[in-house]
Structure formats: C-alpha cells, structure tokens
Chains A and B, each alone.
Chain A
Amino acid sequence: MTLDSKIPSGPIAEKWDKHRFEMKLINPANKRKYSVIVVGTGLAGASAAASLAELGYEVTAFCYNDSARRAHSIAAQGGINAAKNYPNDGDSIYRLFYDTVKGGDFRAREANVYRLAQVSNNIIDQCVAQGVPFAREYGGYLDNRSFGGAQVSRTFYARGQTGQQLLLGAYSALMRQTGLGNVKLYCRHEMMEVVLVDGHARGVVMRDMVTGKIASYAADAVILATGGYANVFFLSTNAIACNVTAAYRAYKKGAGFANPCYTQIHPTCIPVSGDHQSKLTLMSESLRNDGRIWVPKAKADKRNPNDIPEEERDYYLERKYPSFGNLSPRDISSRSAKEACDDGRGVGQSGYGVNLDFRDAINRLGKHVIEERYGNLFQMYERITGEDPYSVPMRIYPAAHYTMGGLWVDYNLMSNVPGLHVLGEANFSDHGANRLGASALMQGLADGYFVIPYTIGHYLASYKKEKVTTDHPEFRKAEEEVRGRIGSLLSLNGSRTVASIHRELGNIMWEYCGMGRNETGLKKALELIPALREEFWQNAKVVGDGESLNNALERAGRVADFLEFSELMCHDALARNESCGGHFREEYQTEDGEALRNDEEYAHVAAWEFTGVGSKPNLHKEPLVFENVKLQTRSYK
C-alpha cells in the first residue's frame, strides 16, 4: 500500500487554486460519456451526486433509506461553520483553518483543512441560493452563534434543525437532477461489495432490500459517502441503521482505513436510562452557549439540584478552562464529565450524569429568548425524560457520536484504490483526532459541492480505461461472495438475537475503547471481540428469507462487519502510544490529567491494510507535516 497524499506544493493559501488549474479537465460534451456511482445520499453524497449530474456526468446513486432525504445527516441539530466573519469578530479563513487543526489536536492534514476553510463560505452562499431558511436577525441578515472550540461566532443555523435543512437543500438539488433523468436513484438498496477491475474501482454489488435481488452496477469511478461508524458502540447518537459495511468492504478490498480509533464522544447527550435503550439522543452543543455545566461539590449529593446553593456547585468547565468555559471542545468536556462522575459526584439515578443548567440564562434573558433559541430541543428533552428543563437542569452525559477515522484519502479525496473516492464522515480527512462542532456539515458539503466535482474529472481524464460491464468476471465473483455471505447469515439458527450480540460488542467497545483507553483494556478487548464474533457465527439467530424485506438479515450483515471492524479500532488505539483529541490513552497524560501528545513519534496518519479476518492488519504511516501552524500543547485554559 502506498500513501501518496498528493498535497500540491506552494504556499498553503494558493494550493487549491494552483491544483485546480493543474488538474485535467473533461470537456462538457464528453462528460456524459463518463459514469459515476455514488453510494450514500447524506450531505456528502447528495451534494456530490447533484453537482456531478449538473456537470453532465452520468450518475447512479444509492441509499439504504426509503428516501434520499432520510440520510442520517438529517439529524444534525446545531449548525454549520463558515469563515464569513459577518459578525466582524475577527474570523478569517486562516482562523477557521487554525481552529480546526488545533481542535483536531494537530493530527489533521494542513492542506485539506485549509481548503475546507476556503470553500466554507461558498457553502453558505450555495445553501441560501437553494432556499435553505437559515436563522436571520431582524435586519434580514444571517445570524451566527458560537460553538465549542472557537472564540468567534461563525456557526450558521436553522433553528435546531440545521442538518435537516441543509440535507433538504442537497436533496432538492438531487431530486431536480433525478427528475431531469441525469441521476438514476435507487433507494432501499444496500451496498454489499465494491468491485475492482485491474486494480481500479469499477462498480458495486447492491442488494435490493425489498426484493432481495443481488445486482451489479458498473461505472468509471465509485464514490462512497456512507457516513460514520459510531454504532460500533451499539448506543450512540447515530441513526439505527448507520454502519461501517461499505467502508469496511472497501478496506477488505485493499483500501487503507485511517485512524479508526479516533472516535468522538459527545459531551451533551441524554444519559442512558436502562437496558432497553436502543439509541442515545444528542442535546445540541449549541445549548452550551447559554447552559452552564455543573455537578455538586460533595459526593453522592442527591438533593434536588435547585436546592443546592451556588457555593456548593462545581462549574467544573468554567473552573478548569476559564477562557473557553462551557464551550471547551468536545473531547475535553466529555472527559471532564466522566472524571466528575467517576469521582462520585455525578447526578441522576445512575450517577452517570451532570447538570446543564439554564437558570441563569433564563434570569438574564427571559424564558422566551431561551424558548426561541432552543425550544424544540427542550421539548425533545422533556418528551424523552418526562422532566421540564425550564424548571430543573437538564441531565446530560457523554455518548458516542462521530467518527473522525475513516477510509484514507489523498488531497483529491481518492483512496489508495484508484477510482474509489470517499467523502463526508466516511473518510478521515479533515478533523484529525477531534472534530469541532458544526464542522462535519461543513466538510460533507465541501467534499460534495466543491471538491469532488473538480478532482473526479482529473481522475477520469487521467486514466484511459476500457469500458467494463457487469458481465465482467470480477462482478460475477463479487456477487457470488455476497450470495454466499447472505446464505451463511440466513443459516444462523442459534439462540441469541443479533441485537443482543451487538449490545455486548458495544459494551466491550465503550469499556475498553471508549473515552479512556489503556494497554491492558485494549488487549482484553482484542481477546473478547474474536470470542464474541465466534459466538455470533455459532449462536446467533437470523429468521426470515433473503427474497423479501428482512430487517433481521440487514442487521445481521452490519453487525457481522462491526464484529471484525471493532478489532481494527482496538489495534489502532493500542498502536498509538499517546493521547490526542478523542483518543485518550490513560498511560499518557499530564499531571493535571490533560492529554499528552507525542509529536516525535505519532505525528502521522495511521492507515491500516487488511491482512485477513482475525489477523493483525499492517500499519502504514503518512507523516503529517506542519508548515503553517506550530505544534503546541492544546490549551483551552
């Protein structure tokens, strides 16, 4: 596996421009002769499919949802960053770039991040032109708010439904192209395999989830925009169907998987209430603009929070990180919450919760202002918990949320497998070891609207390839593999449900590869996971047939992949003997418990190569070179 990042030379601010000039073009009349497959219709996939179709490429898009509009991006609440500097508070492309690199704990590729900051402004323009109803001020101009890890207000939002509105924007562009016949869109179709011909990605094998039919699709290039894998933890803020299958299948076909252990545990989620729980609900980070986080100073203080006087409260983020306070980055906020709870000062039944208190904001601004800002979030909280957050503090606890790791891609967003491009949360590219709030939406749309339309043309123009059809033996072979795997899943007739095994896997990952990791725990996980995988193949039960809609079979396929992929995460976490961002190795911390990076040995991207199920994957390193920002200890004090 060779990792050539293809970062253009020259000053950082000019790289993208220079690269755009140097890339090959395909003339407008010829574009229709090229076909592209896009798997996924979230922000990244929908924006890519629509933009490529507008350019004239022949696009085929797939998603497993019943409509492209229901991709998991729809659930994003808080907002999207851009360096517009509308508030005139000191923002700039360079500052957004710098904040993102620093927020990622200096484990992201500078050139990619800079480009992201550059195109961020175009995204907002594009969305407004599509009719995305962003929040506005009375004067009619766009409103901004702040998010964690930034001291400027650069976050654009649409009530608490920013992801929904951005996705509906991209979806509407996709619908337009579908209606015009420029995109062939298949919903309720799940990708089972990527197909390589002569080393190039030339298509996919899909399962029609309604009829069970296995079919191949061929194209000149393949784009995966299949989202993140936080559901490896079973409980996460992700939608139920989110999974790693597409990315993992590509990994098994030779694509490098980069930094799989970098997972983000979001600090503000509704705590777990019991074993029945199927998912965790995020309370947007934007709440931290006005809510104050605290726990009682005394251990096991079970008083009603409103009865605890000011001097007996520990506003621990404000205390420990005075300059960022409640808006400290996610990794730091999550770890602090865990520390407080591990110290016996957590609140709620389980003791695994901290208060997010709006009392002071309500007194200062009035209830109506808080209602206007967060009304739907408060309502959601009340529905789930049965408690009224206007009168008692919310109770929150960290939960698995986002995965910075993903398939390795170069500057052109192409993996090491030629022709296989990866966009959005599914790639590893821009967030380093920790993603800042409101930056995933930005990245997904940057990739889809403003990067891939250029870079894919360059790829297509650079390789003269034979046309392949789905009659090619590689497709036949891949289809057979898929049928074989589905057959083995359907033959599972043990006594345990797939969900119970998934839940057990989630517990292992949360315990040993979650917020805090150490060598002993990771080694233990590496023993437990193969045993659980064995249990799955011996003792799971899958009912129904393969010729119709079968939720049980779908889930079994996804969990089977998680049971292999989780091992890769642990290998990566074990190999990275440092703490950085969301990867906190307990052996590597400063005296006051902050993450201790090791830039000498670990300032690299760890890209893993598949060597067989259960065998240790090979590690390849892409060194990270910092020419613009100075590596320093990240401080939010």
Chain B
Amino acid sequence: MAAFLLRRLVYLLCLVVVSTSVAYLLAATQLRPRARYEGRNPPPPVAVVDARLDELNMNDKVPVLTRYRRWGAGLLRGDLGRTIDNQPVNAEIGRRMWVSLRLVVVGAVVGTLLGVAAGAYGAVKQYQLADRVLTVSSFVILSIPAVVLGVLFKNAGIGLNNALGFKLLYTTGELTPGMDPWSAAGLVNRFAHLVLPSLVLIVIAVAFYGRYQRNAMLDVLGSDFLRTARAKGLRRSQALIKHGLRTALIPMATFFAYEFALLFVGATFTERLFGWHGMGEYFVESVTKNDINSVAGVTLFVGVLVLIAGFLSDLAYAALDPRVRV
C-alpha cells in the first residue's frame, strides 16, 4: 500500500515538473514584457529596458533556455522570481491564495455535499417529478455562463438590500475596510460578504456534481449487490445508504479532488465580479500584463494543488475501495 502511494507521488511530481516547465517555456516565448516599456511615452532607452528586464529575468534577448535555467535555480531555492511590477511572486501568491481559499472553501464543500445529495436523490427518484425538476434546473444552470449567473445573484443581492432598506449582503470585497477582521462584528461582516459569491459557486457545483453523482448512483441502483442487500432484509433506504452510496462515491472521489483544485483558479469570474483579489484574478491579470514569472508561478501553484488533490483522491480511493489495496 505504502509503495503504491509512493509510486503515485513520484509520478505526480514528474507531472508537476513537466507541466510547469512547459508553462514557463510557453509564457517565456509567447508573452512580451518588453511591450510594457515600449508602449510608454516617451519610450525609455533600450539599454534601460534591457537592464530592467534582465533584473526580472524576462529579457527576450537572453536565450530562453538560459532564462529557464535561472528561473529553475531560483525555484529550487523556493524563489518564484519577481512580478513585472518588481514584487516577489511568492508574496503575491502567499497573499492571494488565502483570499481564494476563503472564497471557494465554503462554496466547494457545501456545493459538493448538496450535489451528492441531489444526485443520489435524483437517481432514487429516477423519472419522477423531483428528478425531472432537478435535471431540468441543472441543465439550465449549466447552460448559463458563470458571469451571467454572478450578475444575476449580485443584482438579486442589491435588490434585497434595497427592499430591506439596509445593507444585509455585500457585493464587493471580503471585508468592509477599517473593520477589525477578527472581532465578532468583523466575522459577521465577512460572512455577509461571502454569501453571494458562495451561492454562485454552490449553485454551479450542485448542478455539476449532481449530474455526475446521479449517473454513478444509477449504475449502482441497478446492481445485483444492492438486491442481495435487500434480500438479506435491509430496507431499501438502508441498503441504498450502506451499500449503494459508498460504492457510487468511489468514482466520484477522484473527480471531486481535482475539481476542487481547479476551482482555485477557476472561480475567476466570481472573483472579479465580487471584487475578491484571489488567484483567478491574478492569473488573468498576469497574462494581460505579459508577466512571465507570475504566469509560471500560478501554473506551478495549480500543479501542486492538482498533485495534492491527486494524492488525496488516491488515499480516498484506497479507503473506499478494497480492490485497489494490493
């Protein structure tokens, strides 16, 4: 078992190295940080720009492999380099990742749980009214672009505030500036900021996971072992929960883990719409700013997250399914 997990870990590490390197090389050859300086009025002298870009390790006159080597050497020391605005990438990621985490953790956890429940329920009630309602609404939700959904929720929140006459829910940022974030009032304030963006994430997650869980559950519902469990004398609901749900969760474990990792940078629209300065926003900004080191840094961050997710999902898989424990 330990050997199996170790092998998986090595394998995932290799994946991270390869994907980050590819991302760095792509960014380093396709993005043009020089354009940022050339566009200024008046344009600074070439020698100054070169010196500046050299300092950031983004000079396109230096061969890309040399830059890659230098970047990699920094990486080995735990240094991701500097952003195009000459800030440490480490500090930027260190700050933003907590913002993202605070934003997505509630949405992802609640969304997953509700999604599993909705999917399992829909499967049990297959083709009945409840299932049809769930099916139709998930398809509607999934077909609406996330931005539109976000705007809808934001407007609904504003409408609610107007109707109430005071600000119950906040639509920008994660804390009203000037509040003590750890006082009781501050926590309530945080929560009031979190409700709307979380709802967006939850609704999408429920619609999405619900579909998958429903299919996984349907496979299990028709299975012989569920019939055996009932033939033993378990009630339908007991058999479903004890024998059905656990088996249906096995294929989902992997899926959840990876989705959660990708949500960190995937919640871009929600972040921007509700003014949270998280990882998604960072990624989009660094691409538009031609910020090579930031792009590579974010990619590495996602890679590590996927690695952790993959590892966790292997653990979950092994815990749920005895057939892989060899």
Our verdict on whether A and B bind, yes or no, reads no
Listed in ascending order, the chain A residues whose CB lies under 8 Å from chain B are none
